[in-house]
Amino acid sequence: MSLIVALKFFHYLSLFLAGGLGVANALLAKAHQKAQMPPAPPVQQTMMTLARLGLVAIVILWVTGIILTNQIYGSFNLGWAFHLKLLGATILLLVIAFLNFHLAMSAKKGIPPNPKIMNAIPYIARTSLAAILIGIAIVTTA
């Protein structure tokens, strides 16, 4: 029981962390787009740090989620809603990993991040988060 409580603690903590970092990064990108100016190098570095922390938080979510699913349910055969949640989580992981790659390449080249990519990331992330939340709400409803 204490293992499950500890895993849930880190699962929820990383969920809040990933969400907050994603919102912060999106707000920074949007503010610079509205001002029609590329982010200054320190802001780009901050965006990279937020993206890296977000990726770490998503990885922690995956690890704790896999262990929790195994400990609580003993199987991943929990129905379509659980698979919807996994699809959303997979897309979110891929988007955050891609964002990290894109920001690193932009910084390495000394250019600002591609505005089209930075515009698309929040929409994809929000849609995948909606799938995750809908899926988990259905799975955990008795």
| Per-domain residue ranges of the chain | 1-140
Which candidate, 114, 84, 82, places its Cα nearest to that of 99? 114
Between helices 2-34 and 115-139, what is the axis angle to 10°? 150
For position 21, what pLDDT does the model report? 84
Cα–Cα distance measured from residue 29 to residue 33, given in angstroms and rounded to the nearest whole number: 6
Q: What is the pLDDT along the chain (142 residues), one digit of tens a residue?
A: 799 999 999 999 998 888 888 788 878 888 888 898 888 888 888 888 888 998 999 999 999 999 999 999 999 999 999 999 999 999 999 998 998 899 889 888 888 788 888 888 888 988 998 999 999 999 989 7
Q: How many CB atoms lie within 10 A of CB 138?
A: 15
Cα–Cα distance measured from residue 111 to residue 40, given in angstroms and rounded to the nearest whole number: 10
The structure's pTM equals 0.83
Question: What is the DSSP-derived secondary structure letter of residue 38?
Answer: P
Q: Please, how many CA atoms are within 13 Å of residue 93, restricted to the half-sphere of its CB?
A: 14
For position 4, what pLDDT does the model report? 94
For position 61, what pLDDT does the model report? 93
For position 62, what pLDDT does the model report? 95
Q: Answer for the pair 56, 37: CB distance below 8 angstroms, yes or no.
A: no
For position 78, what pLDDT does the model report? 92
